[in-house]
């Protein structure tokens, strides 16, 4: 059997704006924007991630997020501190979901409150979270 994950779906009260945020975060492109209730992101067509990674699909729902995500993205940057600062400039915020002290990742939330983690930089050797 051949099976591949096509989309990772994210509920959103503002799918266009949330997709625009994530497009900036990942450097991906919006591929479905005719319908404001369903917006998809894909890696650049000529990138190594194209046709390998699943799309991110933002779907309109009437209710706002109310609890911790059951699924979240872990992002691996080259430079954790620089990436956290860039993400904050795009509208992300740091959040405490009980991760405690001494962890090597930074928990953040997108403008709708969806949590994600920025892991230690790919070139890091034992550095701590910013």
Distance CA 9, CA 100 (A): 28
Do residues 96 and 107 lie in contact, with contact meaning Cβ atoms separated by under 8 Å?
A: yes
- Check residue 130 and give its pLDDT: 64
Task: Give pLDDT, residue 120.
Answer: 95
Encode burial over 43-80: b for 16+ CB neighbours within 10 A, e otherwise: beeeeeeeeeeebbbbebeeeebeeeeeebbebebeeb
Tokens, residue 61: 């729902």
- Using an 8 Å Cβ cutoff, are 119 and 75 in contact? yes
| Other CB atoms within 10 Å distance of the CB of residue 100 | 7
How confident is the model at residue 126, as a pLDDT?
A: 45
How much is the pTM?
Answer: 0.86
Give the domains, in start order, of the chain with CATH numbers.
1-64 (3.10.180.10), 65-130 (3.10.180.10)
Whole-number pLDDT of residue 129? 56
Kindly give the confidence (pLDDT) of every residue in the chain, 130 residues in length, as a single tens digit, with 9 standing for 90 and above.
788 889 999 999 999 999 999 999 999 999 976 788 999 999 999 999 988 899 999 999 999 888 888 899 999 999 999 999 999 999 999 999 989 888 999 999 999 999 999 999 887 654 455 6
């Amino acid at each position: 059997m051949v099976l591949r994950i096509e989309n990772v779906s994210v509920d959103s009260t503002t799918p266009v704006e949330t997709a625009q945020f994530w497009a900036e975060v990942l450097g991906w492109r919006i591929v479905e924007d005719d319908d404001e209730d369903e917006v998809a992101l894909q890696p650049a067509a000529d990138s190594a991630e194209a046709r390998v990674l699943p799309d991110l699909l933002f779907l309109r729902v009437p209710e706002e997020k109310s609890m911790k995500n059951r699924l979240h993205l872990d992002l691996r940057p080259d430079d954790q501190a620089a990436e956290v600062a860039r993400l904050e400039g795009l509208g992300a915020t740091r959040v405490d979901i009980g991760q405690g002290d001494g962890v090597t990742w930074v928990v953040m939330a997108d403008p709708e409150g969806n949590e994600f983690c920025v892991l230690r930089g790919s070139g890091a050797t034992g550095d701590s979270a910013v």
